[in-house]
Structure 1
Amino acid sequence: MLQCVVQEHPKLWDEILGQAEFAYNSMTNRSTGRSPFSIVYTKNPNHTVDLAVLPKCNSKPAAEFTAQFSTMLEEVRAKLLDSNAKYKENADKTKKERSFKPGDLVMIRVKRERFPPGTYSKLSRRKIGPYAVLKQINPNAYVVDLPKHYNTSSTFNIDDLAAYHPPDGAGTSLSSSDSDSPVDGGE
């Protein structure tokens, strides 16, 4: 958004930041159906055009204001719940249930934050393995027979594991001597 606002004058970004923030907070959010200003301050802010004609001031009892504000918050809450349900429904359409049994071979997706500084390279392989699954901690966490030279925990989230399929279709088995990882998760 800031890039669109500054256009040919990128060095003026700090002068335009306030305008960009105001514009963002004034825009209606797709999930809530309201702008951040209207949620926090109960109304949209006055723009320059609004200030040219002063709005009529009607005094309303505090109870009516509180009821309107509570109703608005309930509407926002309901819209957020609807949006979250739609997002979950769309995400669940592509989600596949996966699970591994002890002894299954898996490839591990490598993430930089799991390794000590200086040991991870951008050009390194993205997946390492195959390694055997030692045990399932819960539906999302597995202990893998990871060699100690990786110097990281051997417990992985299921999102970081992929079933290993040998390239030639032949069966593959690893002995426990290929790895020296403890069964308890290496924590």
Structure 2
Amino acid sequence: MITMDGNDQREWYIGLKGVEAFLNTPYNKSTGRTPFEVLYGYNSKFHDGALREIAETEVNVAGTNPEQLQAEVRTRILDSPAKYKKRFDMRHCSRRALKAGDVVVMRCAHEHTGEPTKTDPRYKGPLVVTEVEPNDTY
């Protein structure tokens, strides 16, 4: 973030304003707000000028109560893991429970002998489940 140009490393503090702006102005996905806005209750006006005002999509009223914003952010943060778990569970399915008498196939584990395995069978089977034991053992 802060790079030292040239041999003069005593002027490192000149880039701090930009680093502060980069850290405090991006919107957080979980909170929906910037860190500066959550802490103080209004959006910061760094040295962006009129371009920031034009690009701003959300109008923020100066003097918003920070405690109210922080309570809203707290509830959003606590609700976000449930939302992410729901998204994760949509893409992952639960295991299929088998019972005795079901016909299944089993994927072969090829030994690495150096020989080509392209024409080897990929599955063993058909197999019949004879007994169901605990911990998904058949």
Q: TM-score, normalised by structure 1?
A: 0.33
Q: TM-score, normalised by structure 2?
A: 0.41
User: Which structure shows the bigger proportion of residues in helix conformation?
Assistant: 1
Q: Which has the larger radius of gyration?
A: 2
User: Which structure shows the bigger proportion of residues in strand conformation?
Assistant: 1
